[in-house]
């Protein structure tokens, strides 16, 4: 048995093949039943269920999903918007202000607050300018990089700074992007 999932963008539909695809191989007959579901948000999920038949005869599989069957087409790719430099500059300032307050509350940083803040802000700035293109594109990698960079330089509190940074980003970045672009979704 094998399940194959593909994700893409398409209008809201449920579609399936009105008959399974059958092919023969040295191990028997392979029966594949494709099924696709598209959510109202535009995300399309396709699933193909395959299993080898123990006999050389095709197995019948009852399908009763819909009377209006549509055959599955290739999943459409969704291209996220390019980063917006003006948004990145404004968001980095908010980030820096928040993270400075968080770091100054902790006793573990001592005289290293400014250096830890500089490292985290630089990494976040690079990410927003090169990779962030709106909701769905906030990655965890820059925050892991923050913790690693702080630790590699022998500074205290890398994991704590990265945690404070990611918590703030999860709470505000996508929301701020929507406000900036006027996206009400």
The percentage of the chain sitting over the pLDDT mark of 70, rounded to a whole number, equals 57
Q: What is the mean pLDDT of residues 140-154?
A: 97
Task: Report the distance separating Cα 77 and Cα 73, nearest Å.
Answer: 12
pLDDT at 182 over 60: yes
Query: What is the DSSP code (8-state) at residue 83?
Result: P
pLDDT at 115 over 90: yes
Q: What is the mean pLDDT of residues 116-130?
A: 98
Per-residue pLDDT reduced to its tens digit, 150-171: 999 999 999 999 999 999 999 9
Who wins on pLDDT, 98 or 48? 98
Per-residue pLDDT, 183: 85
Per-residue pLDDT, 78: 64
CA distances from residue 49 to 9, 17, 74 in whole angstroms, order as listed: 21, 12, 16
Per-residue pLDDT, 27: 46
Per-residue pLDDT, 180: 95
* 152-160 LR contacts (CB < 8 Å, sep 24+): 153/115, 153/119, 155/109, 155/112, 155/115, 155/116, 155/119, 156/108, 156/109, 156/110, 156/112, 156/116, 157/103, 157/106, 157/108, 157/109, 157/112, 157/116, 158/116, 160/106, 160/108
Banded model confidence at residue 32, pLDDT cuts 50, 70, 90? very low
Per-residue pLDDT reduced to its tens digit, 17-26: 444 444 444 4
Map residue 18 onto helix, strand or coil. coil
pLDDT at 6 over 70: no
Per-residue pLDDT, 75: 54
The closest alpha carbon to 181, from 80, 78, 98, 41, belongs to 80
Per-residue pLDDT reduced to its tens digit, 39-80: 344 444 444 444 444 444 444 444 444 444 454 555 566 677
């Amino acid at each position: 048995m094998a399940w194959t999932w593909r994700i893409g963008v398409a209008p809201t539909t449920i579609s399936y093949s009105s008959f399974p695809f059958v092919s023969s191989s040295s191990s028997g007959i392979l029966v594949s039943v494709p099924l696709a579901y598209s959510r109202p948000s535009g995300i399309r999920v396709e699933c193909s269920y395959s299993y080898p038949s123990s006999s050389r005869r095709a197995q019948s599989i009852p399908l009763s999903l819909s009377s209006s069957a549509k055959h599955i087409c290739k999943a459409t790719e969704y291209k996220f918007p390019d980063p917006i430099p003006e948004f990145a500059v404004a968001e980095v300032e908010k980030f820096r202000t928040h993270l400075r307050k968080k770091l100054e509350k902790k006793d573990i940083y001592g005289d290293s607050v400014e250096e830890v803040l500089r490292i985290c802000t630089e990494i976040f700035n690079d990410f927003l300018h090169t990779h962030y293109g709106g909701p769905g594109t906030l990655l965890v990698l820059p925050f892991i990089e923050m913790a690693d960079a702080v630790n590699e330089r022998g500074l205290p509190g890398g994991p704590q700074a990265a945690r404070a940074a990611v918590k703030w980003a999860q709470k505000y970045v996508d929301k701020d992007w929507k406000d900036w672009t006027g996206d009400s979704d």
